[in-house]
């Protein structure tokens, strides 16, 4: 039996923005809606008209935007108790939003009806039916969200079903069962959804939250129980700990459970889509996110990397390219020759895992990691180490000495740092001395080294220091602790990370800076190799 096409209803722009630290401008929401449309989402919930000026602006902008596939939905609630639906200002705003779809929520749980709305169960049923029917009379597709459905069903299953029947009588196109508190267990949700589908002959959707860490599992269970619409958010944004995460739901539905999706042909863009949404929200991406995260197909152990090299799917549940991700080999003191060889190949260097130099190279990796280096997040430093060990790369410069001085001028609260660097460039006997000032010692050291290099390697003028992270690797040793520095550098075309480790933060920074310059010089051929 052929499985149905599942409708994907995205609520990132409304429910997702209720998450802590998540905010989009009206213009950003339009950009995201256009991206969702191009991706193949069926419904895009834009916000709640009248709740804030930003959502009102979004609907004004959306009305002027052409969407090729997705339908924009305005979100709101049923009419107020004891108020005629045609006199309810909130209902009027839903119509004024001029969206083809309106989604309204109503109360399923008697607790909310009597204690929150302060009305009767009978009036609540009329509120649901009246609101849906009125919106349908204005030629809208109406999706009814049964809020707190599973809690309401557990409390009073007969009344919960009555609320769905009221929405159905009103003409709702979809009845969506919401696990609003996120506390339902998978087996119980499956049982309830199956019973509802048997009793209510109508299209059913599922809307889950992740409070018990089960948002994705609950959603998939709801679909397998017979629901045909999924409501969720990109990257799991949402109130409290978030909504069910579409970046996990979509590949599970399409690749694992063989459901048809209108966005299925675009899933190879899923990772880039996820990253773009994080960028627009101005939050760091979660490396541990299933499917789309940096670590989703990363292998660190030597046995894993060796097996993945021979047969990728022996340690991967799917091909990462299917959702726009990639296999990554991480380097650490757990690495073996296979890990090194495979990682080197990914970086464009062919190395035989059985090469005689491999044993000493592995020993060097273990030694450096033992004193604080971390190569799994510093590919450029690892690249430099490979070139030194296997291809005879030698530094085109020799450090004679460096010195940094920091001064704090209390009057005016000014920080001044000075760096003096003495370098011997290439094989010239002349020592190049440069002095630079900056607001901090690392910046001063960076500028002084760059000044010394520029005359010999003008390409380095394009390199910028973009990010700088420091970790204290031991606790309880105070100022004698080893410091690890991770440094992000880049030019107009690419970025790269390098690392250093030492008891001195300045020396660790110097090491990371040198590796950044070495990497760039290697990439641009301005180096020398051992004869």
Rounded to the nearest angstrom, the gap between the alpha carbon of residue 176 and the centroid of all alpha carbons in its chain is 27
Domain boundary among 247, 281, 315: 281
Count of the separate structural domains present in the chain: 3
Is 290 a residue whose pLDDT tops 90? yes
User: Given this model, what pLDDT does residue 479 score?
Assistant: 67
What rounded mean pLDDT belongs to the chain?
A: 89
pLDDT band at 530 (very low <50, low <70, confident <90, very high): very low
User: Given this model, what pLDDT does residue 477 score?
Assistant: 64
Please state the rounded mean pLDDT for residues 18-37.
Answer: 94
In terms of domains, do 125 and 203 share one?
Answer: yes
Please state the rounded mean pLDDT for residues 29-58.
Answer: 94
Please state the rounded mean pLDDT for residues 223-249.
Answer: 97
Of the candidates 264, 340, 355, 252, the one whose C-alpha atom is nearest the C-alpha of residue 299 is: 340
In terms of domains, do 226 and 339 share one?
Answer: no
Of 156-165, 172-181, 308-317, where does mean pLDDT reach its minimum?
Answer: 308-317
Of 36-40, 315-319, 327-331, where does mean pLDDT reach its minimum?
Answer: 327-331
pLDDT band at 309 (very low <50, low <70, confident <90, very high): low
Q: Between β-strands 483-490 and 464-472, what pairing exists: parallel, antiparallel or unpaired?
A: antiparallel
User: Given this model, what pLDDT does residue 271 score?
Assistant: 94
In terms of domains, do 309 and 266 share one?
Answer: no
In terms of domains, do 401 and 493 share one?
Answer: yes
Is 341 a residue whose pLDDT tops 90? no
In terms of domains, do 329 and 444 share one?
Answer: no
Domain boundary among 324, 354, 370: 370
User: Given this model, what pLDDT does residue 7 score?
Assistant: 98
* 358 vs 480 pLDDT, higher one: 358
SS3 for 449?
Answer: helix
In terms of domains, do 330 and 415 share one?
Answer: no
CA distances from 76 to 27, 37, 67, 126 (A): 21, 22, 22, 17
Is 313 a residue whose pLDDT tops 70? no
Please state the rounded mean pLDDT for residues 403-407.
Answer: 89
pLDDT band at 316 (very low <50, low <70, confident <90, very high): confident
Is 233 a residue whose pLDDT tops 60? yes
User: Given this model, what pLDDT does residue 331 score?
Assistant: 62
Note down the domain range covering 402. 394-529
pLDDT band at 418 (very low <50, low <70, confident <90, very high): very high
User: Given this model, what pLDDT does residue 527 score?
Assistant: 52
Evaluate whether residue 378 is within a structural domain.
no
Please state the rounded mean pLDDT for residues 356-369.
Answer: 86
* 201 vs 524 pLDDT, higher one: 201
CA distances from 377 to 90, 282, 390 (A): 51, 22, 21
Is 404 a residue whose pLDDT tops 50? yes
Alpha-carbon distance of 467 to 465, in angstroms, equals 6
SS3 for 274?
Answer: helix
Identify whether the C-beta of residue 68 lies closer than 8 Å to the C-beta of residue 110. Answer: no
CA distances from 77 to 90, 244, 412 (A): 8, 21, 56
Evaluate whether residue 376 is within a structural domain.
no
User: Given this model, what pLDDT does residue 282 score?
Assistant: 85
User: Given this model, what pLDDT does residue 48 score?
Assistant: 94
Is 492 a residue whose pLDDT tops 90? no
Of 148-157, 222-231, 481-490, where does mean pLDDT reach its minimum?
Answer: 481-490
- Give this prediction's pTM: 0.74
* 121 vs 346 pLDDT, higher one: 121
Please state the rounded mean pLDDT for residues 244-258.
Answer: 98
Domain CATH number, residue 482: 3.30.160.270
Of 31-45, 427-441, 482-496, where does mean pLDDT reach its minimum?
Answer: 427-441
Strand partners, 152: none
* 505 vs 333 pLDDT, higher one: 505
Of 193-197, 219-223, 228-232, 376-380, where does mean pLDDT reach its minimum?
Answer: 376-380
Evaluate whether residue 456 is within a structural domain.
yes
Is 355 a residue whose pLDDT tops 80? yes
For residue range 96-135, what is the model confidence (pLDDT) as tens digits?
Answer: 999 999 999 999 998 889 888 889 999 999 999 999 999 9
User: Given this model, what pLDDT does residue 299 score?
Assistant: 75
Evaluate whether residue 276 is within a structural domain.
yes
User: Given this model, what pLDDT does residue 78 score?
Assistant: 96
pLDDT band at 531 (very low <50, low <70, confident <90, very high): very low
In terms of domains, do 165 and 277 share one?
Answer: yes
Evaluate whether residue 401 is within a structural domain.
yes
Maximum mean pLDDT: which of 42-46, 108-112, 371-375, 476-480: 42-46
Evaluate whether residue 381 is within a structural domain.
no
In terms of domains, do 231 and 365 share one?
Answer: no
In terms of domains, do 440 and 518 share one?
Answer: yes
Evaluate whether residue 383 is within a structural domain.
no
Evaluate whether residue 389 is within a structural domain.
no
In terms of domains, do 356 and 505 share one?
Answer: no
pLDDT band at 305 (very low <50, low <70, confident <90, very high): low
Please state the rounded mean pLDDT for residues 494-520.
Answer: 92
Buried b (16+ CB within 10 A) or exposed e, 505-518: bbebbbbbbbbbbb
In terms of domains, do 310 and 400 share one?
Answer: no
User: Given this model, what pLDDT does residue 357 score?
Assistant: 85
User: Given this model, what pLDDT does residue 529 score?
Assistant: 44
CB within 8 A of 66, min separation 6: which ones? none
In terms of domains, do 273 and 398 share one?
Answer: no
């Amino acid at each position: 039996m052929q499985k149905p096409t599942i409708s994907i209803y995205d609520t990132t722009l409304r429910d997702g923005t209720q998450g802590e630290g998540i905010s989009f401008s009206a213009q950003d929401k339009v950009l995201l809606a256009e991206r969702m449309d191009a991706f193949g989402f069926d419904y895009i919930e834009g916000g709640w008209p009248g709740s804030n000026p930003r959502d009102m602006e979004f609907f004004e902008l959306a009305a002027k935007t052409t969407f090729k596939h997705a339908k924009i939905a305005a979100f709101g609630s049923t009419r107020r108790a004891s108020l005629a639906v045609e006199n309810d200002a909130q209902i009027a705003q839903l119509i004024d939003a001029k969206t083809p779809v309106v989604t309204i929520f109503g109360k399923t749980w008697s607790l909310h009806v009597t204690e929150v709305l302060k009305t009767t169960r009978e009036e609540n049923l009329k509120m649901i039916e009246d609101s849906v029917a009125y919106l349908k009379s204005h030629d809208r597709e109406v999706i009814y969200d049964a809020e707190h459905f599973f809690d309401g069903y557990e409390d009073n299953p007969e009344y919960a079903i009555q609320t769905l029947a009221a929405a159905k009588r009103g003409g709702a196109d979809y009845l969506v069962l919401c696990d609003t508190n996120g506390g339902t267990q998978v087996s119980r949700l499956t049982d309830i959804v199956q019973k509802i589908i048997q009793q209510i002959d109508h299209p059913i959707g599922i809307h889950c939250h992740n409070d018990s860490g089960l948002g994705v599992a609950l959603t998939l269970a709801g679909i397998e129980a017979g629901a045909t619409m999924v409501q969720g958010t990109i990257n799991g944004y949402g109130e409290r700990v978030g909504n069910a995460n579409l970046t996990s739901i979509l590949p599970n539905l399409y690749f694992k459970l063989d459901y048809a999706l209108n966005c299925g042909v675009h899933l190879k863009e899923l990772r880039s889509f996820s990253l773009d949404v994080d960028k627009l929200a101005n939050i760091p991406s979660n490396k541990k996110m299933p499917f789309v995260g940096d670590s989703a197909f990363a292998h660190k152990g030597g046995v894993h990397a060796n097996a993945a090299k021979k047969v990728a799917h022996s340690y991967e549940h799917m091909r990462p390219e299917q959702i726009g991700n990639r296999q990554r080999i991480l380097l650490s003191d757990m690495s073996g020759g296979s890990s090194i060889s495979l990682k080197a190949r990914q970086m464009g260097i062919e190395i035989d895992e059985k090469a005689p130099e491999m044993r000493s190279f592995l020993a060097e990796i273990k030694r450096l990691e033992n004193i604080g280096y971390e190569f799994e997040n510093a590919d450029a430093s690892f690249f430099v180490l490979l070139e030194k060990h296997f291809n005879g790369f030698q530094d085109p410069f020799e450090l004679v000495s460096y010195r940094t001085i920091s001064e704090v001028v209390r009057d005016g609260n000014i920080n001044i740092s000075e760096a003096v660097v003495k370098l011997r460039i290439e094989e010239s006997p002349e020592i190049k001395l440069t002095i630079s000032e900056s607001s901090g010692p690392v910046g001063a050291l960076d500028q002084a080294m760059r000044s010394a290099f520029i005359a010999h390697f003008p390409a380095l003028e394009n390199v910028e220091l973009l990010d700088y992270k420091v970790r204290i690797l031991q606790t309880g040793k105070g100022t004698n602790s080893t410091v690890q520095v991770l440094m992000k550098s880049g030019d107009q075309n690419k970025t790269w990370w390098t690392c250093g480790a030492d008891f001195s933060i300045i020396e660790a920074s110097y090491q990371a800076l040198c590796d950044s310059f070495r990497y760039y010089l290697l990439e641009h051929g301005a180096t020398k190799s051992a004869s």
